[in-house]
Copies of this chain bind each other. A is one copy, B any other.
């Protein structure tokens, strides 16, 4: 979970209390209300070099366990992104937080640093550029396409001169994808045949496939790839919260005959490119070429509900908590 925070210098004359969500039980299958507990804790005393953070926006997403590296230089009052857990206040030694871009423009909400101009946006960019090496004129398939990553992936592919087909699980999401400029979009829950929907959307097949779902969708989609197709395996939301592992047909023979490449990736791999990448995406956003709807839940108390809602696909765009 990423976390926007303000930094304070304060002498801690008064004890600071933090609200924090703790996981009472590890999930069995899909998460339940009773798995979470809200606690109030008193923060420990400061040590030299530490800072106090106050959460401004929080993010719930299914890749909150991804590791990020450290950057210890934080001037007082700056905004940072960090993996501090589900809590309102945190004492940090700076090793788990990162500053947002230094010249963040006034007209762009800082919450986008948790979305299109943050890890989800970087994930979309690197999946297309580094993993798929997508080229102008190619056709991209993206699923969970109205989500934080998928919606940015589709838009970036359009900016690169590609044809983009998106799959989502609700009609309002499909409408959103068309608003974003996707060439084709469909509701995988209501089409009579996923195979037919994929064929109709791109009869000649797909060069690249940005995979956020896994499971049955992937087994059908791989059959629609063109020779030398590339699959960037970014997520597998259909596989996250199941009590028994899902099974499907082995992809080997299709991968051989079509000479497909399939690669799993984590965004941290290209961290050395993050600053340049975030600046590029920020420019696209300011030029109106990259849109990012946010699904904002107000109130720290509602964090588990927002998390479970995200897993059920209730959000369009990035799911954000405003404290």
A residues lining the B interface (CB < 8 Å): 211, 214-215, 218, 233-236, 239-240, 245-250, 252-266, 269
B-chain residues with CB within 8 Å of residue A252 when the two chains form the complex: 211, 214-215, 218, 233, 235-236, 239, 264
Residues B253 and A236 in contact, CB atoms below 8 Å apart: yes
Partner of A255, one of B215, B233, B245, B260: B233
Please measure, in the bound complex, the distance between the C-alpha atom of A169 and the C-alpha atom of B234, giving whole angstroms.
Answer: 36
Q: Are B250 and A214 in contact (CB under 8 A)?
A: yes
The DSSP consensus for interface residues of chain A is mixed
Contacts of A255 in B (CB 8 A): 233, 262-264
Among B235, B240, B259, B261, contact of A261 (Cβ-Cβ < 8 Å): B261
Provide 17 A-B residue pairs closer than 8 Å at the C-beta atoms, listed in order of the A residue.
A214-B252, A235-B256, A236-B250, A239-B253, A245-B250, A246-B250, A247-B247, A247-B249, A248-B248, A255-B262, A256-B264, A258-B264, A259-B263, A259-B269, A260-B263, A260-B264, A261-B261
Which interface residue of A254, A258, A265 has the most chain B CB atoms within 10 A?
A265
Which B residues lie within 8 Å of A265 (CB)?
A: 256, 259
- Give this chain's copy count: 2
Check A266/B259 contact, CB under 8 A, given A249-B246, A249-B247, A250-B215.
yes
A246 surroundings in chain B (CB, below 8 A) = 249-250
Complex Cα–Cα for A70 and B248 (A)? 39
Query: Which of B239, B256, B259 is the one whose CB lies under 8 Å from A250?
Result: B239
> A250 to B253, Cβ gap below 8 A?
no
What is the CA–CA distance of A265 and B218 in the complex, to the nearest angstrom? 20
Q: Specify which chain B residues have a CB less than 8 angstroms from the CB of A260 in the assembled complex.
A: 263-264
Nearest B residue to A219, CB-CB? B250
Best-surrounded residue of A215, A218, A250, A255 (most CB of chain B within 10 A): A250
